[in-house]
Structure 1
């Protein structure tokens, strides 16, 4: 059951309890999967990161989102069914969950040209959403535009891009700026790492400590973002090595095999002794 949403659409029904019971009566095993704000605790997130996107989001949205996430965590505990999370930071909010790594086809993202090699770097930032300001675009974009105006980078603001055109866009970049306000990473960062691009984002120490391997993402908290970009421009060779480790990381954790292993106990449970 995805994002704590009902499986069967019925007017006025916004909870999953009845659907859960119905699915079980039909003989199905049921698990839950969460992707972010449906589970994340705003207060805890702001304690970890003063620059949390919750701190700059509309207060009314934060209140409603926090109440819904609290209810979802309680539902998960009460149902006692497996809970999977697609971003590893959510394990900080639900330590009974299991990380289910997002999966891509790495072959679709292979890029032949190495990044940061002898030209003005092309930098891409394409947030999937700007309202609420989850990605940090309000911090990222002014810095990229200033650097572009000085001729230090070429900032590509692609706007709306069809999915089929994304591999070419990413392959043409040297640096892909992901989200810097969540303390984690998502699909866009995985795709850029698969292409061997340098990914700038922010993965919190608490999140990295829960992972089997730290992702090759250059950390840039909002107040450090411009300084990090300047350092990349000053010393590109060292950062090119970070980018080069991205495809291997993606094949180890995001090509579907790690996700299959995470799902194995749910999909293929051990037989009950007779």
Structure 2
């Protein structure tokens, strides 16, 4: 924490709240509740403070559901995002940044009650803004005698220069992102590397491609609610053109410029109906996915993300560019093939034409999706992986290990 941050923490909440500008104020009398750990549980896991794509909450729920005797809770800073992922404790950004009373209470509770702390994305977990210091937070966890681990989601640890060298279609090699964003990503990765160097804590990565950046890490599979995404209707089972959906979380990193150009041309030609969406709620996105025949996940990163898992769970045809390395890891760790149509920027148009020309083959591919997600991404493997690092389970995501 900076000297200015320490000085600001001396100011009483009631005084500081009145001094803050509109939009940064908080109500000192309405602070967030505590994390609700089960005090009888031997293992109590705190995961925060990012909840990227809802995964912190999903991993916590997986531990509660699949790891007997474990109490796990997620927390995240609420910055008013429209997407609306659930989390066990949402902390308003002004409170996280400015309420010394809440920060002290939260810090004390985590350090006294949690036995294991998972820090996501090199983000501070005890305070934000000028008071935030993730390296200091990690040291506090260690001094309290708690177990510590780091969780990496993607841009927080993916080295853009190394990625550009590995992948010809990398957004860092094709000019898809601005120079400012490139610099911001480099800075963020540098911050993450400093945290890794400050403490030998084990690391988890949410997607297999990130093992290139953190080779010693454990793959912690993404978790989706397969039942919530299931649908009775098969793709290509309606009259009219196939519906193709692309819903990037960050268009510049997902190859969206190429995807948009190709699919809009095919839509203009009358081959497909292209639906491009952004900024919708998670509930709205679910409806859009189940109403689609094909979901184009991303091109350029060589991975697959939460949307791909959700679309597979819904039995949709999922198109993307998971690298051979990623597919090999999935096969080695699970014994299963990743049921996605693999393509790249140069082949996307041909791949889409082939899908539309052979709907029976497309339906067969899509039919493998729900079982794959139920096996790999329903939370059992993720729970087992976390517990193995805690020293209470096998060290593989293979359920038959």
Q: Which residue does 1:139 correspond to in 2?
A: 258
Alignment partner of 1:17 out of 135, 144, 149? 135
Coordinate RMSD, CA, aligned: 1.8
Residue aligning to 1:80 = 200
Question: After TM superposition, where is structure 1 displaced by more than 4 Å over at least 4 residues in a row?
Answer: none
Q: How is 1:48-197 mapped onto 2 (pairs within 5 angstroms)?
A: 48-55=166-173, 56=175, 57-117=177-237, 119=239, 120-130=241-251, 133-197=252-316
Distance change (3 Å), C-alpha of 1:229 and 1:94: same
Structure 1 residue 67: Cα displacement: 4.0
Unaligned 5+ runs, structure 1: none
Partner SS state of residue 176, structure 1: strand
Decide which of 135, 140, 150 is 1:32's aligned counterpart.
Answer: 150
Q: Considering only CA atoms, is the larger Rg found in Structure 1 or Structure 2?
A: 2
Shift of residue 255, structure 1, vs aligned partner: 0.4
Point out the more displaced range, 245-254 or 11-20: 11-20
| 8 Å Cα contact 2:122-2:191 kept in structure 1 | no
Say whether 1:231 aligns with 2:357: no
Shift of the alpha carbon at 1:183?
Answer: 0.3
1:187, CA displacement in angstroms? 0.5
Which one has a larger percent strand, Structure 1 or Structure 2?
2
Deviation at 1:29, TM superposition (A): 1.3
Distance 2:256 2:300 in 1: 9
TM-score w.r.t. structure 1 length? 0.91
- Deviation at residue 60 of structure 1 after TM alignment: 3.2
In structure 2, C-alpha distance between the alignment counterparts of 1:231 and 1:73, rounded to whole Å: 43
The answer for the alignment partner of 2:374 in structure 1 is 251
Match of 2:162?
44
**Residue number in structure 1 paired with 2:35:** none
Alignment partners' CA distance in 2, 1:64 and 1:135 = 17
Task: Specify every segment of 5 or more residues in structure 2 that has no aligned partner in the other structure, as ranges.
Answer: 1-118, 394-401
User: How many correspondences in the alignment?
Assistant: 268
Among 325, 328, 347, the residue aligned to 1:206: 325
- Per-residue CA deviations over 1:138-188 (Å, capped at 9, x if unaligned) read 111122112112221111234432222222211111000101111001100
Q: Deviations over 1:14-58 (max 9, x none)?
A: 642211111222232111101011111112211111220112211
Question: Structure 1 residues 238 and 251 mapped into 2: Cα distance closer, same or farther (>3 Å)?
Answer: same
The alpha carbon displacement at 1:93 in A equals 1.0
Alpha-carbon shift at residue 111 of structure 1 (Å): 0.9
Counterpart Cα distance in 2 of 1:96 and 1:242: 33
Q: Deviations 1:210-244 (Å, cap 9, x if unpaired)? A: 22333211112111111111111112211211111
Could you say what secondary structure the match of 1:156 adopts?
strand
Q: 1:249, 1:185 → 2: CA distance?
A: 13
Describe the shift of the 1:36–1:166 C-alpha distance in structure 2 as closer, same or farther (beyond 3 A). Answer: same
